[in-house]
Chain A
Amino acid sequence: MNWGVENLRVTYGSTVALDGVDLDIPPGEVTAVVGGDGAGKSTLLRVLAGVPIAYSGVVRRPDATRLGYVPTTSGSFRDLTVAENLQFVAQAHRLTDGPGRAEPLLKRTGLTPFANRLAGNLSGGMRRKLGVVMAMLHQPDLLVLDEPTTGIDPVSRSEVWRLLALAAARGAAVVVSSAYLDEAERAASVLVLHRGRMLVTGPPAEVVASMPGAVVETARPSDRSRAWRRGRIWREWRPEGAADAVTPDLEDVVIVASLAAGER
């Protein structure tokens, strides 16, 4: 049985944060949740992690001892050193070989020289990596990471993704939300959320292939409401298809799915 959610609905007062969301998170794979601001990514991941939020639907997650979670705020305690943060996690999970487990993870993330530095004095990227290491220390069955790469440099982003790949290779089910669609393409499957609802789901290649219509590159879009900037030129969605279509990527597909949802 995979971890995940079925027909998940979360409301905050009269605001529907998630509605009818299904997600399967198979072990040994990285599943990405993408979407714009307010799409419901964080709410979905928080429910999956077990943060106290009222919801309806089915949530399948392991118990707290087999789950690792990185909140958007990185999850480390700023007044503790890197080593003390890891020690706290090891003690909470009753790990007898905490330092032994932490050492290779610290080495892999380049945090070894900073073991005695306060988490609050780390750079944003280093603090994110520390959060991921803390969540991975007990080798959880389900690893939930809420935008672990937001606001950090490309090198650190790459290192975080290598850690996620490592966790998946060890058999963990990894679910990660991201605002960066290029990195979501590295995931085995993708769920695109828009205003709390599922837009598209499946492996990145299938998601790209399923895009309705076509995307063209143009210097002067014919319909600005269906166009977006990509570097110095425009890309435009043509629902009816186009002879001069370019090969879309995940970013195009997410934008098109949002536009299509808006037009329905």
Chain B
Amino acid sequence: MILKELRQLRRDRRTLAMLIVLPVLLLTVFGYAARFDIAEIPTAVLGPGAELVAGQLEAPFDVVHIDTTGDAETARNLLRDSEAVIAVVAGPSPTIYIDGTQLFSAQSALRRAAALPEGVEVEILFNPELSTAAVMVPALIGLVLTAIGTIITSLGVVRERQEGTLEQLAVMPLRPSHVIIGKVAPYFLVGILDLIIITAAGLLLFDVPFRGSVPILILGSLLFLLVVLGMGVLISTVSRAQGEAIQLAMMTLLPQVLLSGMIFPLEAMPWGIRWIAYILPLTYYVVIVRGVFLKATPFGPLMWPLLALLLLAVVVLSLAIIRFRRDLAPAAPKQAAPSEPAKAAA
């Protein structure tokens, strides 16, 4: 029995890869990426004495912006647009503004602010109580959409392949594009429905504030859905069975949970790991959804994450369609290979 199982396992290369690659991946990711201690806190220093103050700041404060003419309004805008996590407005009544949506950076900054002399005011913006729910619930919308989009879509297509009905569709008078759209559109609609339900639940059950623009949230969510649905179709084209599709979907889901900035701050990750985050759609969606929910970030600063999602959508959907079309395009003769015609015995 053990021998039989080992033989089967040896031939199930995908499971074997999961058993070997996944522990290494988890160890690497948890070891290097899963850190709550912040090495760098992007900091803006504003006001008449900005240059002097900036020179006195030590790690982990990483001065990314100095503006001697900036004021409290500038500070709020910089934090709202995610240009900095901390903004110090120097002057007669110095104030430190902290972006409360960056939980770990904010807590780290608060600990250090406690050592400052009296007279320095500290104000936490966007999430004054540093509520975990306020930060996590919007990001969880992205996670749920990823799970639905990737896993359910891939299962739907693989089921057709397993039951032979994909072949049936391929020989029916249906255009490949119609089959692809017909397969994906229902999941897209279900994704939108889920988005509405989860958003409503987040707002009602967890008292998460919604301060931003609904159209931006819709635009970002639609682009994000296109990426995850494309990933689902792509996974289905390389999976022979539903189990394989689930395995692959999980392998795309796990890095997104750990590396997207949803749980662990990107600033705490070394660049050797952090670059992976920038090819994951959830990374950009988390920025958009937290910005819209908590900070009322306008379109301008969110344009780059939106463009990144658009680019990912184009790349992933194109790959998915090219591969899916191979299953559906009509058979065509390839270059005739030389062969001896078979001779019938009779």
Contacts and interface: CB of A to CB of B under 8 A. Distances in A.
Interface of A: 7, 9, 11, 19-22, 46-47, 49-59, 63-65, 67, 69, 71-78, 89, 92-94, 197-202, 206-207, 210-212, 257, 260-261
B296 to A, nearest CB: 44
A52 B173 contact: no
11 contacts: A9-B337, A19-B339, A20-B340, A20-B341, A49-B171, A51-B331, A55-B334, A56-B333, A69-B171, A71-B164, A199-B344
Contact of B164 (A21, A73, A200, A260): A73
Contact of B174 (A19, A54, A92): A92
Given A19-B339, A52-B327, A93-B173, A260 B345 contact: yes
Given A57-B336, A92-B174, A260-B345, 6 more contacts: A19-B340, A50-B170, A50-B171, A75-B167, A200-B346, A211-B346
Q: 5 nearest interchain CB pairs?
A: A73-B164, A210-B346, A20-B341, A197-B342, A56-B336
B103 to A, nearest CB: 44
A64 B346 contact: no
Q: Give the interface residue-count category, chain B.
A: 20 to 34
A201 B346 CA distance: 7
B328 interface: yes
B164 A74 contact: yes
Nearest to A70: B168
B170 A52 contact: yes
Interface centre among B330, B342, B343, B344 (most CB of A within 10 A): B342
Contacts of B165: 73, 75-77
Contacts of B344: 198-201
Interface of B: 163-165, 167-168, 170-174, 326-337, 339-346
Contact of A78 (B163, B167, B168, B346): B163
A71 B336 contact: no
A197 B339 CA distance: 11
A63 B173 contact: yes
B171 A56 contact: no
Given A73-B163, A75-B164, A207-B346, A64 B173 contact: yes
B337 A202 contact: no
A59 B331 contact: yes
A52 B168 contact: no
A9 B336 contact: yes
Nearest to B162: A73
B326 A257 contact: no
A52 B331 contact: yes
Given A75-B165, A78-B163, A93-B173, A56 B342 contact: no
A52 B329 contact: yes
A200 B345 CA distance: 5
A50 B163 contact: no
A50 B331 contact: yes
B335 A56 contact: yes
A92 B167 contact: no
Nearest to A193: B342
Nearest to A50: B171
Contacts of A9: 336-337, 339
A49 B341 CA distance: 22
Contacts of A261: 345
A257 B345 contact: yes
A21 B337 CA distance: 13
Nearest to A55: B333
Nearest to A135: B168
A21 B342 contact: yes
A67 B171 contact: yes
B341 A92 contact: no
A11 B339 CA distance: 11
B172 A57 contact: no
A46 to B, nearest CB: 7
Nearest to A144: B171
B346 A53 contact: no
Interface centre among B331, B339, B345 (most CB of A within 10 A): B345
Contacts of B170: 50-52
A92 B171 CA distance: 11
Contacts of B335: 56
